[in-house]
Structure 1
Amino acid sequence: MNLSVQLHETASNFPDKMAYHFLGQQTSYGELDAAVSKFAGGLESLGIKKGDHVALLLGNSPYFVIGLYGALRAGATVIPINPIYTPDEIGYILNNGDVKVVITLDLLVPLFEKMHAGLSKVEYVIECATPQQTEGQDRTKLSIYPKLKSFTEIVASGSASFEGPELDEEDVGVILYTSGTTGKPKGAMLTQRNLYSNAKDVADYLKITNDDRVITALPMFHVFCLTVALNAPLMSGGTLLIVPRFSPKDIFHLAKTYKATVFAGVPTMYNFLYQYPEGNPEDLQSLRLCISGGSSMPVALLKNFEKKFNVLVSEGYGLSEASPVTCFNPLDRPRKPGSIGTNIIHVENKVVNELGEEVPVGEVGELIVKGPNVMKGYYKMPEETAATIKDGWLYTGDLAKMDEEGYFYIVDRKKDMILVGGYNVYPREVEEVLYAHPEVSEAAVVGVPDPNFGEAVHAFIVRKNSQLSVKELTEYCKEHLAKYKIPSHIEFLEELPKNTTGKILRRALKDVVLNKN
């Protein structure tokens, strides 16, 4: 079994059931499944074969859902990419990921017109019209880009009876690029089995059924949304209430209008909902469950949110390399604020010491994970794969502890990783950009508390030229980094603290910021 086959079975059982709602339009499972088959057939007509790589450079929309499942049904491997990445970041992933077809918004087509000389492996760009585009306007005829096709054209060229090739459970279905400590993203290969098992186990654990209406506000290109708020509901016959971009006003409206039953978000979203002046508790009264992940939710926020809106918030834990979910607070036992919960179905978590030996209850060690959800490895990175997966166990790099009832607690996140609004920012990646500036001698980046986004990026710089300004350096970063990775604070120092071997001490720098506050 895989996601594509499961969608077809769900559509066969509930052809007239609403699969998703988007901007006032409703689409049934029968219509969705037909569109998926047509798009898959259209990809095949372009020469896409089993195992070829297709990138999704899209926000939350039906295009993403159809593009994802259509590519999977065609036997392709899907690479979701954040559409707000810079050209440098997008270009690296497309080239490293050996992408043949890119599915993207028409607004980004000019970007590919400029980049196409450096994207020799990309054979086609499939553009998706934004809702604001004039009815009937065909941008493919306006573009000078020779590889451009329209999404509607590809769907129209396919057949609703297209079935696609046979897929093995070990075939790679999705490659998720995550920033590595080397500064270059690593592609976590998730197999058909990884994706299907985690979506099914999450659906079973959270009791998601065809009666559920799930608010899909998290970015679809992020693995949290991909599994919890997209794949799990669709395989259960539930309905997606797709939100193009997060807005407290839209969330309250959707929840009230369509009697939403499940909301999934990162702590930043809960904070904005809680602080929204016009947030009416009655608008959320249909919710049976709120799911939080991406980073730890402050216990005070969790309790305040639950008290104000009278709804349960269940925190969980996951990472891209595990498809992603490994833990959730159970629904049939007490929820423990501050905990990431217990093992989900078929997944085992364990806390170990540096020798890989399990530590006693209550002691801190590294969290490792085992189960059908653990990735196949990093794309074209055998050494990194071997260092991360040992004897079938995925070493997360996160420090954790377990209590006597089997509840896990994250003590500290991956060393030095910064979480801005639920997005991972690795200091080294930002530092690489800063070091490339001709007037920067040294650079160090740390995460500091931020009331709106959980954490913010704070950079410490030693200048070669005292004329270098914060404004100039910020503008430079905007050219090379996605918006959420750009330092919100830049501080100039005469020198950076180092240990006896010359290593820059990020912890000491972070303490300086915290002590100021």
Structure 2
Amino acid sequence: MTDRPWLAAYPEGVPADIDPAQYKSLVQLMEQAFKDYAGRTAYSFMGKDTTYAETDALSRQLAAYLQSLGLARGDRVALMMPNVPQYPVAVAAVLRAGFVVVNVNPLYTPRELEHQLKDSGARAIVIIENFAATLQACIAQTQVKHVVLCAMGDRLGLLKGALVNYVVRNVKKLVPPFELPGAVRFNDALAKGSGAAFSKPDLTPDDIALLQYTGGTTGVSKGAVLLHRNVIANVLQSEAWNSPAMGRVPAGEQPTAVCALPLYHIFAFTVNMMLSMRTGGKTILIPNPRDLAGTLKELSKHRFHSFPAVNTLFNGLANHPDFKTVDWSHLKVSVGGGMAVQAAVARLWLEKTGCPICEGYGLSETSPSASCNPVTATEFSGTIGVPIPGTYLRILDDAGRDISTTGQAGEIAIKGPQVMAGYWQRPDETAKVMTEDGYFRTGDIGTMDERGFFKVVDRKKDMVLVSGFNVYPNEVEDVVALMPGVLECAVVGVPDEKTGEAVKLVIVKKDPQLTVEQVKEFCRANLTGYKQPRVIEFRDDLPKTPVGKILRRELRDAKKS
């Protein structure tokens, strides 16, 4: 087919299309895994393994508990935790009960959390106690009526669990004081659920599975509505794409994946958790990947085959003195996503592990994977690869015409079974990004070569990409503009060796006494870590168009300070 030149680049055995209709819902996919792989380890966390059968039983108990609260089918339940075993149990429980998962970044400030809870209309939340104080600060402004409270040691057994919780609370002091009257502890919710009735809803492929929040061109975070069939499609696409590499895992050995990316991020949600469910794999949960020494110490205890990560993590690990303590020889596929993989990092990773990084591309709106380099490639291509099975990519000009075959740069647009149903309760925003023939306009500028490989060359939006996380200048500007000493401000992205890009904030002062430290302190209180400006510059004025629009491009191109 000439409309899919990329099919010629597919490794042998990778199909052109997949059939998402083989499951009615993600629940059917998970329940099949619980049955087929009951005795296998599903999750490994801090030395404690949880089997598929245990995940089945625990999630069913929690599902029954959530139903007992009187929530209606389709109600939203927020999940706010790092990579702990309660996360996959809660995901399975929420979906099995007929509700919708709302993934929340646990590092959000009260302002950011309040927006997401209000926008999604979440009526319940499962949250780890480390961030309960954040919830306390905003819960009164939301519709949340039910809180399930987790602790780091909940699923580690009585003695080890108590010890871990003691250390987290009293030694590391990672749990700020909080008051959430009526909150129910995770293990108590399970106990209550074990005696409660559970009614299994009849889910369809078109039911909503999750709201995955993403920034918009306006900077207001919007929920991408991902249906059961969207995520199922992406799981099957990812499985098919990885099969030439994962097929080399020796017979009888359980496929094992490292989950160092946070599960609230759609990349880990689909490519780690759900794909492992589908393949009967073991997932090694890493709660804090920024602790590189701790991550390597955990990995030194395992044999693993798959490692999805972002450029910063590959780079940090490869340059760490403890890197050699881990046996990398069984690694079959390293998938780089979330941000551009740098050639130098790809080179170093290949040299040190013998496993090339396959760079892929996707967005929350595409569940997330849309394109990837072949897993059989032995060298770094510097491209985002080719569209994965069942997916079409196009390059569009400003008038919406297809200019893919011209080699010219234009906006990358994506069509496939993994593309979202739209933005939650935002038909206006959905209309801006969806074409009449079903393509999603990404806002990224790219090119396609004659073989069907795509390359991202720029972004149409002013978005800044920090370690794979989207930062929308408008949001940071709106927050900083609330400071009494600020007359006006603008945010741009500047290159950063570690994070790809960093946030640069340019301020015109109203109060001449305003200091960089005051601005930093204000940002720390109102913005999660990756959104905080790394570079702060004071100027007498900002470059503007004749109609007064700030010229961010001029600030970006100006001498980097």
What TM-score range do you get, normalising by the shorter chain? over 0.9
Matched to 2:187, the amino acid is T
Alignment correspondent of 1:204: 240
Name the SS of the counterpart of 2:327 in structure 1. Answer: helix
Out of 420, 428, 433, which is 1:383 matched to?
Answer: 428
Deviation, 1:107, is: 2.6
Matched to 2:499, the amino acid is F
Q: Does 1:127 align with 2:149?
A: yes
Kept after mapping to 2: 8 A contact 1:398/1:415: yes
Q: Deviations over 1:414-457 (max 9, x none)?
A: 42211112111111110111111122111011111112222111
Within a 5 Å distance, the mapping from 1:148-187 to structure 2 comes to 148-159=183-194, 162=198, 164-187=200-223
Q: Does 1:412 align with 2:458?
A: yes
1:285 and 1:442 mapped to 2: Cα distance?
Answer: 53
Name the SS of the counterpart of 1:257 in structure 2. Answer: coil
Go from structure 1 to structure 2 and tell me whether the alpha carbon gap of 1:325 and 1:499 turns closer, same or farther (over 3 Å shift): same
Kept after mapping to 1: 8 A contact 2:333/2:375: no
Kept after mapping to 2: 8 A contact 1:255/1:284: no
TM-score by length of 2: 0.87
1:260 and 1:387 mapped to 2: Cα distance?
Answer: 42
Q: Does 1:20 align with 2:66?
A: no
2:473 and 2:505 mapped to 1: Cα distance?
Answer: 9
Name the SS of the counterpart of 1:385 in structure 2. Answer: helix
Range that drifts further, 69-78 or 294-303? 294-303
Q: Deviations over 1:271-309 (max 9, x none)?
A: 101211231186211111111011111112211221222
Within a 5 Å distance, the mapping from 1:322-337 to structure 2 comes to 322-332=366-376, 336-337=380-381
1:190 and 1:291 mapped to 2: Cα distance?
Answer: 22
Deviation, 1:159, is: 4.3
Name the SS of the counterpart of 1:280 in structure 2. Answer: helix
Q: Deviations over 1:127-152 (max 9, x none)?
A: 002233259x9xxxx97533311111
Within a 5 Å distance, the mapping from 1:363-512 to structure 2 comes to 363-391=408-436, 392-512=438-558
Which structure 2 residue ranges, 5 or more long, are not aligned? 1-22, 154-163, 170-176, 248-252
2:187 and 2:326 mapped to 1: Cα distance?
Answer: 40
Q: Deviations over 1:374-409 (max 9, x none)?
A: 111111111101111122110111101111111111
Kept after mapping to 2: 8 A contact 1:253/1:283: no
Deviation, 1:500, is: 2.3
1:443 and 1:329 mapped to 2: Cα distance?
Answer: 40
Kept after mapping to 2: 8 A contact 1:400/1:408: yes
Q: Does 1:4 align with 2:27?
A: yes
1:250 and 1:264 mapped to 2: Cα distance?
Answer: 18
Alignment correspondent of 1:305: 349
Out of 38, 41, 60, which is 2:64 matched to?
Answer: 41
1:113 and 1:433 mapped to 2: Cα distance?
Answer: 21
Alignment correspondent of 2:314: 270
Deviation, 1:335, is: 5.5
1:97 and 1:462 mapped to 2: Cα distance?
Answer: 35
1:124 and 1:281 mapped to 2: Cα distance?
Answer: 44
Name the SS of the counterpart of 2:323 in structure 1. Answer: coil
RMSD value over aligned CA atoms? Answer: 2.0
Matched to 1:102, the amino acid is I
Range that drifts further, 104-113 or 90-99? 104-113
Out of 223, 241, 244, which is 2:266 matched to?
Answer: 223
Q: Does 1:147 align with 2:182?
A: yes
2:525 and 2:165 mapped to 1: Cα distance?
Answer: 27
Range that drifts further, 311-320 or 155-164? 155-164
Deviation, 1:90, is: 0.3
Which structure 1 residue ranges, 5 or more long, are not aligned? none
Out of 120, 126, 144, which is 1:103 matched to?
Answer: 126
Kept after mapping to 2: 8 A contact 1:326/1:369: yes
Deviation, 1:468, is: 0.6
Deviation, 1:268, is: 0.5
Matched to 1:272, the amino acid is G
Range that drifts further, 110-119 or 282-291? 110-119
Name the SS of the counterpart of 1:158 in structure 2. Answer: helix
Out of 65, 76, 101, which is 2:99 matched to?
Answer: 76
Q: Does 1:55 align with 2:95?
A: no
Q: Deviations over 1:168-220 (max 9, x none)?
A: 11111100111223232111110011111111211221125783210000011
1:144 and 1:303 mapped to 2: Cα distance?
Answer: 50
Name the SS of the counterpart of 1:496 in structure 2. Answer: coil
Alignment correspondent of 1:240: 283
| Residue identity (%) | 35
Deviation, 1:249, is: 2.8
Name the SS of the counterpart of 1:455 in structure 2. Answer: strand
Name the SS of the counterpart of 2:443 in structure 1. Answer: strand
2:426 and 2:461 mapped to 1: Cα distance?
Answer: 21
TM-score by length of 1: 0.94
Alignment correspondent of 2:397: 353
Alignment correspondent of 1:292: 336
